[in-house]
Amino acid sequence: MKHEKTLDTQAIPLIKRAQEQGITTAWERYEKQLPQCGYGQLGICCTLCALGPCRIDPFGESPQRGVCGADRDTIVARNLLQMLAAGAAAHSDHGREVVEVAFKTAQGKAEKYKITDSEKLKRVAKEYGIKLEDKKEADLLKELCISMMEEFGTIKEELQFLKRAPKKRLEIWQNLDVIPRGIDREIVEAMHRVHMGVDNHYTSILLHGIRTAIADGWGGSMIATEMSDILFGTPSIKETEVGLSTLKEDEVNIVLHGHNPVLSEQIVMAAEDKEILELAKQKGANGINIVGMCCTGNEILMRQGIPIAGNMLNQELAIITGAVEAMVVDYQCIFPSLSEIAKCFHTKIITTSEKAKFNGAIHYQFHPENAYEVAKQIVKVAVENFPNRKKDRVLIPDRPQRLMAGFSVETILSALGGSVKPIVEAITSGKIKGAVGIVGCNNPKIKHDYGHITLAKELIKRDVLVVVTGCSAIACAKEGLLTPEAASLAGDGLRSVIEALKIPPVLHMGSCVDCSRILVLLAAIANEIGVDISDLPVAGAAPEWYSQKAVSIGSYFVASGVFTVLGVAPRIFGSKKVTELLAEKLEEVLKAKFAVEPDPVKAAALIMDHINSKRKSLGI
């Protein structure tokens, strides 16, 4: 079965159904936007202040300046920084929320939460210079939370986790004066700089973008990952299923969508509550089926082995199956269209975060103190909604796909016998040519999942180990690339390595904030060889990115020394200077740069050239 919009065979019948029933999805809404504004695409439209909106003539005619006098370079750079700041803020605010839940846990105010990985707690506390002595775990957690909260403010001069970066990378950051001082501070300063009449030099604006992105990757996101591991457990290998077919005909289906694991973990527990299971039976259901969506889905997949229904462009389709009793959302990447689509079915859209409310949704306010109660209420709402499901309107696609996930750095290291040495040896011997992180979203500008899957296949075929996060991981999972059997698609060298370890050629490392795990892994490999990350035969790619968070992720990859290829053009081409800086000049200072290549086959070729040249420089 082929389709022009998606590679996901399970999505096809639902896209068709939507068209037949006159339900609009992101694809049609995108088409209705065409042609998208040319000024906007080039980044030369400025709406920052009320002297505007202003735009620059792309062909050099008049006007060449906004009312305030800003030129195209300033406007493009400021727009980009504003996007990046929103992305860094989203990741970091999520991180802060996890720390807040941990803090309440340490104080005994959030009784349903507990410390799950106490070894990691000790390890991270030590990194923060906290004396372990014979402190109680709760006290240790409290001290760690306070230290992490300080990272957000202005007390410190540099973030703790930057020390995880190779020495050479730290020196590069120091010389360029882009060491982040505090996570919130850099984000606020970014917003200050984009105010009319503040930072008007594109280089200065973009360098602060680099600083803010580092504060996300080595700060807010890393804190989110580490603290989630401490509270909910560090992921280990899990096998389960992926696709819209994970929804069940005879059970209450609850989809958990968004990014933060703090409530979803409780919902997973609440769905096992005897009283509620009994109620489900009374309502005629054979059980309660929890499935994930996007990165909340990735979080509970990585830690609890919960099946995952799909990625970003699957969210509307899940409702269109007619089989979802409740879609529970926290924040980020949740289409405002969901409550409209839900009106055509019996599905209830349940919002849970004070900062992410939706028209037409029911709101259940989550607090760490009452999390389990709220979780139980939500599950109950879903169960009670089961009899409203119209059986003749249910369309659940068949053939779920198996997958293996849970590859935290800890799990990868333990699979390798405790150190990165075996990877380094495999890379040195040439069995593995290099490693590439494929990350990021879906975007209707690119055929759904095509960018991720094609790039991953092209790379593993050429003996490149691929690691994935976010919606990219889910795309690859749907194609079966996250199974050990996918070794048959790998080149001989890579195949020999992964077959011995019984792991897939594409390793699922987690959610979007878990791109920080990729940084930790890269740093470990670089430190083992005694080089910088930029010396390694590695690259990053975001073939179908859309979000502001992806701008931040791409930027901290490049800031960390990783050549990064984007599949969707960023809105910078209205400024030659900004484009040159990001695609060329950054290399001189950061030893890494961006490239844009919408065709994943060509992107693979670009990446291979890069990997081969790095191998040559290393003399391997």
For residue 357, give both structure tokens: 């409310």
Q: Considering only residues 168-197, where is the footprint of ligand SF4 by CB under 6 A?
A: 196
Report, in Å, the least distance between residue 199 CB and ligand SF4.
Answer: 12
* Number of Cα atoms under 13 Å in the Cβ half of residue 290: 25
Q: What angle do CA 81, 170, 214 make, to 5 degrees?
A: 25
Q: Which stretch binds ligand XCC (CB under 6 A): 6-14, 165-173, 385-393, 544-552?
A: 544-552
Distance of CA 121 to the CA centre of its chain: 23
Residue 53's binding partner among ligand XCC, ligand SF4, none (Cβ under 5 to 8 angstroms by kind) is ligand SF4
**In which residue are the tokens 């037409």 written?**
360
Q: Which does residue 196 touch among ligand SF4, ligand XCC, none (CB within 5 to 8 A, set by kind)? A: ligand SF4
The Cα-based distances of 17 to 22, 365, 392 in angstroms read 8, 34, 13
Residues touching ligand SF4, count (CB under 6 A): 14
Choose which of 70, 477, 497, 611 interacts with ligand SF4 (CB under 6 A): 70
422 binds ligand SF4, rule: CB under 6 A: no
Backbone angles phi, psi at 271, to 5 degrees: -70, -10
Return the SS3 of 31: helix
Q: Does 301 bind ligand XCC (CB under 6 A)?
A: no
Residue 187 binds: one of ligand XCC, ligand SF4, none (C-beta under 5 to 8 A by kind)? none
551 sits near ligand XCC (criterion: CB under 6 A): no
Comparison of 296 and 385: residue with beta carbon closer to ligand XCC:
296
**Interacting span for ligand SF4 (CB under 6 A) from 48-56, 161-169, 287-295, 443-451:** 48-56
On whether the CB atoms of residues 521 and 436 are closer than 8 A, the answer is: no
549 binds, among ligand XCC, ligand SF4, none (CB under 5 to 8 A by kind): ligand XCC
Q: Which residues pair with 466 in a beta bridge?
A: 436, 506
Q: What's the N-to-C CA distance of the chain in angstroms?
A: 43
- Judged by CB under 6 A, does residue 48 bind ligand SF4? yes
If binding is defined by CB under 6 A, does position 66 make contact with ligand SF4? yes
Q: Does 242 bind ligand XCC (CB under 6 A)?
A: no
Is 300 an interacting residue with respect to ligand SF4 (CB under 6 A)? no
Instruction: Check the CA dihedral 610-612-613-614 and report its sign.
Output: positive
CB 81 within 8 Å of CB 206: yes
Q: Position of tokens 């040159």? A: 580
Residue 189, CA distances (Å) to 33, 198, 199, 558 in order: 33, 10, 10, 21
- 471 forms part of the interface with ligand XCC (CB under 6 A): yes
Task: Please confirm whether the linkage preceding 235 is cis (ω < 30° from 0).
Answer: no
In the set 43, 166, 437, 470, which binds ligand XCC (CB under 6 A)?
470
Q: Of 1-9, 50-58, 212-220, 360-368, which part binds ligand SF4 (CB under 6 A)? A: 50-58
Provide DSSP, 90-138. Answer: HHHHHHHHHHHHHHHHHTT--TT---S-HHHHHHHHHHTT---TT--HH
Three-point CA angle 189, 190, 191, nearest 5°: 90
Give yes or no for residue 138 binding ligand SF4 (CB under 6 A). Answer: no
Q: Which of 294, 323, 435, 539 binds ligand XCC (CB under 6 A)?
A: 294
CA angle 513, 433, 217 (to 5 degrees): 15
Quick note: the x/- pattern for ligand XCC over 476-515, rule CB under 6 A, is: -----------------------------------xx---
Which of 13, 434, 440, 504 is in the footprint of ligand XCC by CB under 6 A? 440
Contacting positions for ligand XCC (CB under 6 A): 259, 294-295, 311-312, 333, 440-441, 470-471, 511-512, 547, 549-550
Q: Would you tell me which residues interact with ligand SF4 (CB under 6 A)?
A: 46-49, 51-54, 66-68, 70, 75, 196
